[in-house]
């Protein structure tokens, strides 16, 4: 599923004074095992109640992230700090795109969900700075319009647009995808970032699905399938999805709780929605590796970040009002891996992986089961009202 034959890890070239780093191997990108072993143990332990797994992983993450990397066993890549490497990737992309456009070529196009604030906004800033024609989809219209104006002012990139998108409505997803298709025939970068978390009560989407699963997975599943024909037209393309360490918090998806308020479980449904993201990435990457190896698909955990997501949970809201937020990451820090997977040359050719802190991490073992992945794909196709096609999954040219 991933390419491992890449140049030497320290190889780099320059592009008009911007350093372009060579792709790294999968093995070089793997993170230290301490966090992986801790998260996987917590997720599979018979001695920890299932409802405590997510909070246990959160606390372990906060603790582990506040100790030096060498204690975690993170590898020294022999390269500058990741922030500097991302800056170089942004500069190199901006130069390359400007050069292509000056010669009459096509400007790269990026689509990002949930870019009005938080992690999405900071990621949008990086993508716009990299020279992309950026289209942001969000349901917070006023905030989204202000975000676009701020991004334009900061980056001087006038090709940044806002379109209304409610991932909790399949009708809105179709309209958004159709509007994208009217604006461009190619999408080089698709970033599925929007989401909701820990909703106390069953809150149905327009089609009656739990909002956590409906927005976090089904809405993005549908959008991805609709835009894939445009993604496939790019010489090289990337699909990046925001997952979470919460995917370790369950071993299976609570399918009855997706449409039933009685079977709804606020924690399990959220964890299940993020497990679905990781499984979707695995299934999509495996499918595209056979037909479109030029497209890579990856997901990431941004870390425990202090964003608007915490306002949905009274417990998390109380914790963040009494000082717990100081142990959490800022949106700028949380968006770093999003920007890295979207723009860095170092991840070229790597697909189907789960990342955290710019390192490949061990997934919840439940996400590796192909049978589970196929069950999720079948359920998702049925939920969005599309014909089931698990053998040639994701191959239909929906917008053509």
Q: What does the pLDDT look like over 188-246, one tens digit per residue?
A: 999 999 999 878 899 999 999 999 999 999 999 999 999 999 999 999 999 999 999 88
The residues with which 18 forms a beta bridge, in sequence order, are 15
The more confident residue out of 277 and 244 is 277
CA dihedral in degrees (293, 21, 241, 60; nearest 10)?
130
Average pLDDT of span 82-107:
96
The more confident residue out of 6 and 109 is 109
pLDDT at 324 over 60: no
* The predicted structure's pLDDT at residue 9: 45
Percent of the chain exceeding pLDDT 70 equals 80
The more confident residue out of 22 and 190 is 190
* The predicted structure's pLDDT at residue 183: 97
Of 66, 48, 55, 43, residue with least CA distance to 315: 55
* The predicted structure's pLDDT at residue 38: 76
Q: What confidence category does residue 101 fall into, taking pLDDT thresholds of 50, 70 and 90? A: very high
Which distant-in-sequence residues (6+ apart) come within 8 Å of 130 by Cβ?
89, 90, 93, 94, 97, 343
The more confident residue out of 31 and 194 is 194
**What tokens does 232 get?**
């496939």
Residue with tokens 């990781």: 278
pLDDT at 67 over 80: no
Average pLDDT of span 340-364:
95
The more confident residue out of 216 and 11 is 216
Average pLDDT of span 65-85:
71
* The predicted structure's pLDDT at residue 51: 62
* The predicted structure's pLDDT at residue 333: 86
The residues with which 111 forms a beta bridge, in sequence order, are 135, 190
* The predicted structure's pLDDT at residue 267: 84
Question: How far from the centroid of its chain's Cα atoms is residue 221's Cα?
Answer: 12
- CB-based contact 283:378 (threshold 8 Å): no
Strand, coil or helix: what is 138? strand
Q: How many Å apart are CA 133 and CA 398, to the nearest integer?
A: 23
Helical segments of 65-105, H only: 69-72, 82-102
Q: What confidence category does residue 5 fall into, taking pLDDT thresholds of 50, 70 and 90? A: very low
Which distant-in-sequence residues (6+ apart) come within 8 Å of 127 by Cβ?
110, 112, 134, 189, 191, 339, 342, 343
Q: How many Å apart are CA 337 and CA 244, to the nearest integer?
A: 12
Which residues are tagged catalytic?
270
**What is the chain's Cα-based Rg?**
20
The mean pLDDT value of the chain amounts to: 86
* The predicted structure's pLDDT at residue 304: 72
- CB-based contact 260:201 (threshold 8 Å): no
Average pLDDT of span 9-25:
73
Average pLDDT of span 292-300:
97
Question: How far from the centroid of its chain's Cα atoms is residue 174's Cα?
Answer: 20
* The predicted structure's pLDDT at residue 98: 97
Percent of the chain exceeding pLDDT 90 equals 63
Which distant-in-sequence residues (6+ apart) come within 8 Å of 311 by Cβ?
317
pLDDT at 46 over 80: no
Q: How many Å apart are CA 290 and CA 302, to the nearest integer?
A: 29
pLDDT at 340 over 90: yes
Is the dihedral angle over the CA atoms 149, 153, 154, 156 positive or is it negative?
A: positive
Which distant-in-sequence residues (6+ apart) come within 8 Å of 315 by Cβ?
none
Q: How many Å apart are CA 147 and CA 24, to the nearest integer?
A: 34
Q: What confidence category does residue 3 fall into, taking pLDDT thresholds of 50, 70 and 90? A: very low
Average pLDDT of span 150-174:
98
Q: How many Å apart are CA 231 and CA 224, to the nearest integer?
A: 9
Calculate the alpha carbon distances from 118 to 76, 138, 151, 301 in Å: 29, 12, 13, 14
pLDDT at 314 over 80: no
pLDDT at 143 over 80: yes
Of 4, 89, 19, residue with least CA distance to 341: 89
The more confident residue out of 75 and 291 is 291
Q: What confidence category does residue 352 fall into, taking pLDDT thresholds of 50, 70 and 90? A: very high
Is the dihedral angle over the CA atoms 50, 373, 111, 303 positive or is it negative?
A: positive
pLDDT at 6 over 60: no
- Range scoring the smallest mean pLDDT among 85-94, 258-267, 296-305: 296-305
């Amino acid at each position: 599923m991933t390419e491992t034959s890449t140049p030497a890890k320290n190889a780099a070239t320059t592009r008009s004074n911007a350093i372009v780093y060579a792709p790294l191997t999968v093995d070089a990108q793997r993170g230290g095992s301490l966090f992986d072993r801790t998260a996987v143990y917590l997720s599979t332990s018979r001695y920890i109640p299932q409802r405590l797994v997510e909070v246990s992983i959160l606390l372990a993450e906060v603790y582990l992230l506040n100790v030096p990397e060498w204690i975690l066993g993170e590898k020294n890549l022999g390269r500058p700090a990741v922030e500097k490497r991302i800056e170089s990737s942004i500069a190199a992309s901006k130069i390359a795109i400007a050069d292509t456009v000056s010669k009459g070529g096509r400007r790269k196009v990026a689509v990002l969900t949930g870019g009005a604030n938080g992690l999405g906004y900071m990621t949008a800033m990086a993508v716009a700075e990299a020279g992309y024609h950026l289209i942001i989809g969000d349901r917070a219209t006023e905030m989204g319009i202000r975000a676009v104006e701020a991004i334009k002012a900061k980056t001087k990139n006038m090709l940044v647009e806002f379109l209304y998108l409610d991932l909790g409505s399949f009708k809105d997803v179709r309209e958004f995808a159709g509007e994208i298709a009217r604006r461009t025939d190619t999408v080089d970068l698709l970033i599925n970032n929007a989401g909701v978390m820990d909703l106390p009560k069953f809150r149905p989407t327009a089609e009656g699905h739990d909002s956590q699963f409906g927005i976090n997975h089904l809405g993005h599943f549908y959008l991805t399938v609709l835009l894939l024909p445009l993604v496939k037209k790019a010489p090289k393309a990337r699909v990046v999805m925001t997952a979470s360490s919460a995917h370790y918090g369950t071993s299976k998806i609570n399918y009855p709780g997706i449409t039933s308020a009685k079977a709804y479980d606020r924690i399990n449904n959220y964890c299940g929605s993020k497990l679905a993201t990781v499984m979707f990435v695995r299934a999509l990457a495996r499918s595209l590796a056979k037909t479109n190896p030029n497209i890579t698909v990856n997901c990431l955990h941004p870390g425990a970040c202090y964003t608007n997501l915490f306002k949905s949970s009274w417990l998390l809201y109380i914790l963040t009002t009494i000082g717990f937020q100081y142990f959490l990451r800022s949106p700028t820090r949380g968006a770093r891996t999003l920007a890295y997977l979207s723009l860095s040359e170092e991840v070229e050719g790597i697909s189907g992986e789960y990342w955290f802190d710019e390192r490949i991490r061990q997934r919840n073992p439940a996400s590796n089961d192909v049978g589970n992945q196929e069950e999720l794909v079948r359920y998702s196709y049925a939920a969005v009202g599309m014909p089931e096609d698990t053998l040639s999954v994701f191959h239909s040219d929906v917008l053509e």
